[in-house]
Structure 1
Amino acid sequence: MADDLQEIVDDLAERLQRSVAIDDPSLRLLAASRHFGDEDELRVSSVLNRSIEPEIRELVFAQGIAQWTGPGKLAAPVEQARHRLCAPIRCAGLLLGYLWLIDSGSSFSERHRKAAREVADRAGAVLYRRLVVHERTKARHEAILWELVSTDRAVRSQAVDDLRAEQLFPSEGVRFQIIGVQRLGPDGAASEDVALESAVEEAGNLHPTTTGSALMAANRSRAWLLLGRRKPPARQELDEICARLTERFARLTDGSGRLVLGIGGVVDRIGHIADSYRQAFLAARGAALIPSLGPVARWGELGPYELLLTMPADNLLAASEVPALRALENGSTELLATLEAYLDNAGDVARTAAQLTVHRATLYHRLKRIERLSGCALNRGEDRLTLHLGLKLRALAAAYRNEPAAADPRGMRSVS
């Protein structure tokens, strides 16, 4: 009996003289036979792209195929497509994929349904064996990844050797980058943790035309992707990965879950991956604390928050008590907002007045009051730095105080 998925598909196609395909549970193409003149636009697109458009995928799933226990007829999801016979592929109680026959005009006979059911069972055995091997490999790689970002230098060094031994990346000339994902909400939401892991794994499945590798690790409400390429991923590709991840998570949680993502810097050595990891989760933490930074925050684009996020919480809370700003707060919260807008706009009066929708004369009057109450001169660089940095400290300190529970603001963890 054939134990190769492609052989199974080709054998059924020749027997029935129909195009046959097998998808994984997310409708990504795993194997496809040659055409028999029954192909439609959906079939051609699936073969070329190894998947179908998200909108069409949703229309297919809306027909309930994930709950089917035997072959059934799927109505054409779009006008350019034909009806299909869909046979769920299951083994050991798991849904492992779908087998497809295209309706070429004649209805599906009992012979077709019986053949599809038998082949789906054979494909299920193949895919189940693949799943077992995949899960073992995934667990081994995940353990190495967590050790790769351990705070213990000896553990990290051994993890570097272990990762090289796996030969997942070329020995030289590879650039590495981390995408960190933090789930917000109660720690006890186990279903959302599962959804997070599933979403990250799917997002890490690279497009077939992409050269490189992606590995993932997940632990409760935190997960991350390690990307390894000859050239760092383009900004557009990173955006697409993050979008796929958040969309998949939202779908799995019915929109009730919330994620923040951080993108670390690019490093050129395996031993420096911990640096990109730390940066990614500092950025993710910034996105969680300061909404204007998120929901996807990039290390290198966080301005002063990159420095502030590295500070221990106690030190940051103490430093946020800036006497000059406290004096302004006692005078008027309106003055604090005016000062922040003025400093964020680099002292541009016209832009600040437009942002605050006030007349320039009103803005000048407020700035004079700010100088009088704070004791600072806005034309002195040191005073402007003190006030501007103090405002950012206060924003971050307020976010820390509003957190439901204390947490490590530096985003690092040990897996020793």
Structure 2
Amino acid sequence: MRLRELLDDTELGLLLLVGHATDETDSPADGLLDRAISAVATNDLADPGRFLTGGELVLTGLAWWRADGDAESFVRVLRRAGVTALAAGEVEHGLVPHDLVRACRRHGLPLIAVRPETSFAAVTEHVLRRLHRRDPGSPASTASLAALVERHRRLLADRAAPDSVLELLRHTLGLDVRVLSATGRQIAGARPPLRAKTAAALAARHLAARRAGETAPHTVTVGARLYSLVPVPGPGPGPGPAPDAAELGDWLLVMESDSSLWPAPDRELLDRTAELVADARAAHEQSKTARNDLADRSLALLHDSSVPAEEIPIRLRSTAQAVVSGVGHWPRCQFVVASGERRGAGPVPAAALRVLLEEALVQEDGPVPVSSEDIAATVDGDRAVLLVLVPEPSDTRPDPALDHAALQRRLSAALARWLGPGDGVSIGVSSPVAEPGNARRSLEQARNALRIAHAAPEQVTVRGPEDLTSHILTLLPLIPAEARRAFAARLLGPLRDHDARHRTELLATLEAFLDCDASWTACAARLHLHVNSLRQRIARIEQLTHRDLSRLETRLDFLAALKSG
């Protein structure tokens, strides 16, 4: 079919913008309107080159165009691919941008305007009918060509919506296709999701195959069912896991079939689908930039010893306001710190642990819901550091916090085949911190929980503040009773004497403060005090004992003394 034949159809109402005899082109004698159309492709990618083979009429809704200058690279790619003409819809911007008109003139590419009332489907159908009449093949061949064009058009149009892309694949191939993370969580695809144990086993098999250097796609059997696992390409250089452990952040397509036995067109369609889901993955990574910047800035502030303690709450609160959209205060959160070791290979890269935990902590349907928007992450040397927003207390959830045991089970299942003998991943979790003044203390609490996790025999260990306390208290019976009583008398004696002389309640205040995990607001509420009054009491305790209660070691010493006295 010739381009002029398409323009002659009055029902479509197409308007030629570039291609007239008066247009200045690189090739004035090119015979632009006599160019042949051999296929139709709908494309809204900024770089559509890999989907074009030449001779196409390209239909675009101009979703990729945002400002002058965008059209040059797009048209250059079309011209290099040997495209016959470009047809641009007027719905997105109300008209075809002059920037695109100028670029098409420079490169000698015919440009057609498609009015809002003319659908791309009508143009596609018209071209396919004409191609069929000129090349009379079997009805099956024509139907196959039409289906191929249509499914590729829909794939490209839905590239930012993984669920709709996978639904198209299900209709085309008759298979349920899902996107899983490296921990087995379903990100997109057919419903209902796979059983949790099956999904975790598939993710673990994928990580094992990646560590063994096996070529994808991977074919594995779980139970009596055979599955194909196709990795989704990750984003290029920039935010994301380290290259030598990138698999911890993998997404993978999962289907109950052996894709290696498929005919070539179906395998190509699967590859295209993986590329389109990769676009969604890249957008997901990009969406985390602002939140992870919050973690970077917060960690830098907490590390900066030159910042006075009284200024930390103000600076942290302003950081949260600037970065977390819609949050006008320091949000209630928990710190999570992780490190890993692979025998003979050194530490597991902190960036890989960061992206693994960003995924493993997501539990939107759990008892304490956590979405990806609730997580800010960064790295600190060979450790990953995450801030996880948790809900405020309520009548149904008086003290919502991360479930350490559930997190350990998820990670153990995911890494069961990735970690070898002698390898290990350790995670420390703090108590929830409701105000920025406690942030430095909470971070130190998570780090100390990490130290306790390092001593555990399991390959994957998660420990929290309650584990830290129990670890210390289990050692007390090993100390002679006389030594314990002497330690308690030396540490708590000044407080007992002060309470006796002045009828104060410093010892009871200290016990409540420790029982509330050093939370100012929780302790003040328990004692029915104003926070400033509580701070005055704690300052008096520190003065009498010459100890700093902002240090975890001090609080543990006091706790041991109270248990021993």
When the two structures are superposed, what TM-score results if normalisation uses the length of structure 1?
0.56
Contact 2:183 2:410 in 1 (8 A): no
Q: Which position in structure 1 is the counterpart of 2:251?
A: 97
Q: 1:87 aligns with which of 202, 216, 230?
A: 230
Contact 1:263 1:299 in 2 (8 A): yes
| Residues 64, 276 of structure 1: alpha-carbon distance in 2 compared, 3 angstrom cutoff | closer
Is residue 211 from structure 1 mapped to residue 369 from structure 2 by the alignment? yes
| Residues 21, 155 of structure 1: alpha-carbon distance in 2 compared, 3 angstrom cutoff | same
Q: Which piece of structure 1 moves more, 120-129 or 150-159?
A: 150-159
Q: 1:269 aligns with which of 423, 431, 435?
A: 435
Distance (Å, rounded) in 1 between the aligned partners of 2:176 and 2:461: 43
Where in structure 2 are the equivalents of 1:325-344 lying within 5 Å?
A: 341=478, 343=480
- Give the match's secondary structure for 1:23: strand
| Residues 55, 24 of structure 1: alpha-carbon distance in 2 compared, 3 angstrom cutoff | closer
- Give the match's secondary structure for 2:293: helix
| Residues 69, 202 of structure 1: alpha-carbon distance in 2 compared, 3 angstrom cutoff | same
Distance (Å, rounded) in 2 between the aligned partners of 1:208 and 1:252: 27
Q: Deviations over 1:235-277 (max 9, x none)?
A: 7x12222454577678655344455544433332244322211
Q: Deviations over 1:176-199 (max 9, x none)?
A: 33333355899x945444454344
Distance (Å, rounded) in 1 between the aligned partners of 2:330 and 2:292: 26
Q: Deviations over 1:203-253 (max 9, x none)?
A: 333344442433333212333332322244457x12222454577678655
Q: 1:130 aligns with which of 284, 292, 298?
A: 284
Distance (Å, rounded) in 2 between the aligned partners of 1:178 and 1:273: 9
Q: Which position in structure 2 is the counterpart of 1:78?
A: 223
- Give the match's secondary structure for 1:149: helix
| Residues 196, 411 of structure 1: alpha-carbon distance in 2 compared, 3 angstrom cutoff | farther
Is residue 161 from structure 1 mapped to residue 352 from structure 2 by the alignment? no
Q: Which position in structure 1 is the counterpart of 2:153?
A: none
Q: Which position in structure 2 is the counterpart of 1:254?
A: 420
Contact 1:178 1:263 in 2 (8 A): yes
Aligned letter for 2:276? R
Q: Deviations over 1:7-53 (max 9, x none)?
A: 2212222233332222334443222146xxxxxxxxx442x76x845
Contact 2:206 2:218 in 1 (8 A): no
Deviation of 1:120 (Å): 1.8
Q: 1:224 aligns with which of 360, 385, 388?
A: 385
Q: Which position in structure 1 is the counterpart of 2:336?
A: 179
| Residues 271, 381 of structure 1: alpha-carbon distance in 2 compared, 3 angstrom cutoff | closer
- Give the match's secondary structure for 1:218: strand
Contact 1:27 1:97 in 2 (8 A): no
Q: Which position in structure 2 is the counterpart of 1:57?
A: 203
Where in structure 2 are the equivalents of 1:184-333 lying within 5 Å?
A: 189=346, 191-209=348-366, 210-212=368-370, 213-227=374-388, 228-231=390-393, 232-233=399-400, 237-245=403-411, 252=418, 254-258=420-424, 260-285=426-451, 298-299=464-465, 302=468
Contact 1:176 1:273 in 2 (8 A): no
Deviation of 1:118 (Å): 2.1
| Residues 91, 179 of structure 1: alpha-carbon distance in 2 compared, 3 angstrom cutoff | closer
Q: Deviations over 1:44-71 (max 9, x none)?
A: 442x76x84534533455566995666x
Distance (Å, rounded) in 2 between the aligned partners of 1:259 and 1:62: 16
Structure 1 gap ranges (5+): 35-43, 308-336, 348-377, 390-409
Q: Deviations over 1:127-146 (max 9, x none)?
A: 23433443x33541321331
Structure 2 gap ranges (5+): 1-155, 237-245, 394-398, 493-550, 554-565
Deviation of 1:161 (Å): 1.5
Where in structure 2 are the equivalents of 1:361-380 lying within 5 Å?
A: 378=482
Distance (Å, rounded) in 2 between the aligned partners of 1:301 and 1:191: 24
Q: Deviations over 1:288-334 (max 9, x none)?
A: 6899xx96554366559989xxxxxxxxxxxxxxxxxxxxxxxxxxx
- Give the match's secondary structure for 2:431: coil
| Residues 255, 207 of structure 1: alpha-carbon distance in 2 compared, 3 angstrom cutoff | farther
Distance (Å, rounded) in 1 between the aligned partners of 2:231 and 2:341: 34
| Residues 388, 297 of structure 1: alpha-carbon distance in 2 compared, 3 angstrom cutoff | farther
| Residues 285, 119 of structure 1: alpha-carbon distance in 2 compared, 3 angstrom cutoff | closer
Aligned letter for 1:274? R
Distance (Å, rounded) in 1 between the aligned partners of 2:429 and 2:339: 12
Aligned letter for 1:74? T
Contact 1:216 1:226 in 2 (8 A): yes
Distance (Å, rounded) in 1 between the aligned partners of 2:472 and 2:172: 63
| Residues 121, 74 of structure 1: alpha-carbon distance in 2 compared, 3 angstrom cutoff | same
| Residues 246, 89 of structure 1: alpha-carbon distance in 2 compared, 3 angstrom cutoff | closer
| Residues 7, 296 of structure 1: alpha-carbon distance in 2 compared, 3 angstrom cutoff | closer
Q: Which position in structure 2 is the counterpart of 1:16?
A: 173
- Give the match's secondary structure for 1:254: coil
Contact 1:148 1:160 in 2 (8 A): no
Greater Cα radius of gyration, structure 1 or 2: 2
Deviation of 1:283 (Å): 4.0
Distance (Å, rounded) in 2 between the aligned partners of 1:218 and 1:201: 12
Which protein, 1 or 2, shows the higher relative CO under an 8 Å CA cutoff with sep ≥ 6? 1
Distance (Å, rounded) in 2 between the aligned partners of 1:168 and 1:66: 42
Q: Which position in structure 2 is the counterpart of 1:406?
A: none
Q: Which position in structure 1 is the counterpart of 2:295?
A: 142
| Residues 28, 342 of structure 1: alpha-carbon distance in 2 compared, 3 angstrom cutoff | closer
| Residues 145, 185 of structure 1: alpha-carbon distance in 2 compared, 3 angstrom cutoff | farther
The alignment yields a C-alpha RMSD, in angstroms, of: 4.9
Contact 2:178 2:189 in 1 (8 A): yes
Q: Which position in structure 2 is the counterpart of 1:117?
A: 271
- Give the match's secondary structure for 2:233: strand
Distance (Å, rounded) in 2 between the aligned partners of 1:155 and 1:300: 26
- Give the match's secondary structure for 1:18: coil
When the two structures are superposed, what TM-score results if normalisation uses the length of structure 2?
0.44
Aligned letter for 1:90? P
| Residues 249, 219 of structure 1: alpha-carbon distance in 2 compared, 3 angstrom cutoff | farther
Distance (Å, rounded) in 1 between the aligned partners of 2:348 and 2:329: 40
Distance (Å, rounded) in 1 between the aligned partners of 2:409 and 2:166: 33
Contact 1:147 1:155 in 2 (8 A): no
